[in-house]
A and B are shown apart, each in its own frame.
Chain A
Amino acid sequence: MDDLMALFTGPLIAINVGVRDFGLALEQQDVQVIYVDWSPPAGGDQEMLDLLDQLL
């Protein structure tokens, strides 16, 4: 099946990045959720982040 259509036919398995409540709300609906312990990369230093993005 086309990957796009598969999203609408198979079970959802979610990765949560950011506000934890989004993942918790999915879990309450019996969706499997795994969480990323996210924090601003490069300590939130935008210049450092731009530099990193250029290197990667």
Chain B
Amino acid sequence: MASGYLIRKNQYYDSVFLMRVARALSDEPGVRECAVVMATDANKELLAGLGIRAAEVSAARPNDLVVAILANDEALIARLLGEMDARLTSSSQAVRAADYRSLEAACAAQPQANLVVISTPGAYAGREARKALEQGKHVFIFSDNVPLEQEVELKQLGRARRRLVMGPDCGTSLIGGVGIGFANRVRRGPVGIIGASGTGIQEFTSLIHQAGSGISHAIGTGSHDLADAVGGITTLMALDVLGADPATEVIAVISKPAGARTLELLQERIRRCPKPVIGCLLGLKTALDAGPRFVQARTIDQAVERTLAALGVTSALLLRMPRKEKGEEIPPRFPGEEGRGVRSPRYLRGLFAGGTFCFQAQQVLWDAGIPVYSNTPLDSRYRLTNPETSLEHSIIDMGDDHFTRGKPHPMIDATERRKRILQEANDPEVAILLLDFILGEMAASDPVGDLIPAIRQAQESAARRGGRLTVVASVCGTDLDVQGLDRQKAMLMEAGVYVLPSSAQAAEFCRDLIQRGEGGRDG
């Protein structure tokens, strides 16, 4: 195979832009592999993995663009590299003349700005956030891999100056009806939510919308906020804000487990909150003692139901939440039963774009006594030594660092998940595939459509072995999202996928299938 590359010194592009250029390039007939990256150390490793090890590539710096192409045809490589500058500059997202060279210049030009949204690589995000806070702005930090000590410092600075620090690693917020980051379009209403997880907020707000209610504000805190090192600074500030906000009647808090000391602080603050608080701390096994207005929930679905109940929403409105759509038609027998191999298919493989959905699905299975392996396990004894290879029942967070280093997140690009679906389908022991799909701002324009061919191929691959692959999915989103919730669900159902109304219910459906299989395979 031939390869070629080009370097453009001091031409910086953001990662999402580069992903789009790379995708267009890889769609060119004849291209086997390609990389369109800034020359960071991690990306240079990636390039070396493709066999691009030239001295000038090694010497390139993070401000330098590298484009590498692998193909059988050298003339094709030369042509595509020759067209590269035109491709880069013709993009509608090229830098505009009105852009500012620095945050300071932008603040000076628009002193009324109240929010700075930061999505630089993590190593630089803390620096920009500190400048923003010093300029009196609130910050939303999408960037991850920001050192924890920097997060603590930023949040302490924010607290002292009465500025909100959402993040680092904050995927979603909704402020006054405006979605920031990966957010779904939902109607406004009386429910406030505070969440350490972006997808947790997306699922909760979407389900509240689907149930007919609405959201006042959703405040993302970043995934580390409830760690004891940070002490829940943003969560506690958000509780105060929503407690005082006249538009908010009920508050939900959704998070993965909190540090022990922070949990104490949180309970104490909830006790003082004048409004009902619904707490869903996924993975927490104990009951919280947070006063008479506090209600605990085990899953995001439960949090939605209990929030609606706290609002005094009539049962008719509760009933508007679909329970099981396609799921009513539970397969008559355990899906793997028809397998003809020596090893009969019996295992579940979950491939998730949403980290919280991955966590919640594991919790649903473990609660039923079903052990499950993962790259982000609930029980560390069940950590996959190689995230690329599943074992028995496995649930994989494909948004985890291992899969996103130098590659786009599965919420915006389906490439890695597509490959993994086909890989799992080649394993004769796999009976059930569990998937999540996430709609909304910033997400892929057709998340289901991107994976349908792979799902069909996986089903066919199982059929060729004389077996059957049961595919179960949930779609997080609303009818207001540009991707269209109904349209996305319809495509899945058309492909014979069992579509459940929420991620928790999809996991519960798989749990039921596994239990039926193990308890009554002969029946």
Contacts and interface: CB of A to CB of B under 8 A. Distances in A.
B63 A44 contact: yes
Contact of A26 (B62, B120, B178): B178
A17 to B, nearest CB: 5
A40 B181 contact: no
Nearest to A38: B120
Nearest to B125: A18
B61 A12 contact: no
A46 B123 contact: yes
A52 to B, nearest CB: 10
Contacts of B316: none
Most buried by B among A32, A34, A41: A34
Interface in A36-51: 36-41, 43-46, 49
Contacts of A26: 117, 178, 180
Given A12-B178, A44-B40, A35 B62 contact: no
Interface residues of B, number: 64
Nearest to B137: A15
Given A13-B114, A13-B115, A18-B143, A7 B175 contact: yes
A23 B100 CA distance: 14
Nearest to A16: B117
Interface stretch (B10-18, B255-263, B468-476): B10-18
B101 A37 contact: yes
Contact of B179 (A8, A11, A24, A29): A29
A6 interface: yes
Given A3-B136, A38-B120, A44-B62, A20 B176 contact: no
Interface stretch (B91-99, B199-207, B414-422): B91-99
Contact of B114 (A10, A35, A46): A10
Interface string B30-74: 000000001010000000000000000000011100000000000
B45 to A, nearest CB: 15
B349 interface: no
B138 interface: yes
A15 B96 contact: no
Interface residues of A, number: 43
Given A2-B162, A19-B119, A36 B106 contact: yes
Contacts of A8: 175-176, 217, 241, 245
B109 interface: yes
Given A4-B237, A46-B123, A15 B117 contact: yes
A12 B241 contact: no
Contact of A3 (B100, B103, B118, B162): B162
Contacts of A40: 12, 62-63, 120-121, 124
A14 B117 contact: yes
Contacts of B237: 4
A15 B117 CA distance: 6
Interface string B1-30: 000000000101011110000000000000
Contacts of B176: 8-9, 11-12
Contact of A15 (B98, B101, B115, B178): B115
A20 B93 contact: yes
Nearest to A30: B178
Given A20-B16, A44-B40, A34 B100 contact: yes
Contacts of A55: none
A22 B175 contact: no
A5 B177 CA distance: 15
B117 A22 contact: yes
A5 B245 CA distance: 8
B164 interface: yes
B89 interface: no
A7 B115 contact: yes
B178 A29 contact: yes
A32 to B, nearest CB: 8
B442 A25 contact: yes
A16 B125 CA distance: 12
A26 B161 CA distance: 25
B120 A34 contact: no
26 contacts: A2-B162, A7-B114, A7-B175, A8-B217, A8-B245, A10-B114, A12-B176, A15-B107, A15-B132, A17-B116, A18-B120, A19-B14, A19-B15, A19-B16, A20-B16, A25-B179, A29-B179, A34-B113, A35-B96, A36-B99, A36-B105, A37-B99, A37-B101, A43-B61, A44-B38, A44-B40
Given A3-B161, A25-B441, A29-B441, 6 more contacts: A12-B178, A14-B115, A19-B119, A19-B142, A36-B105, A43-B10
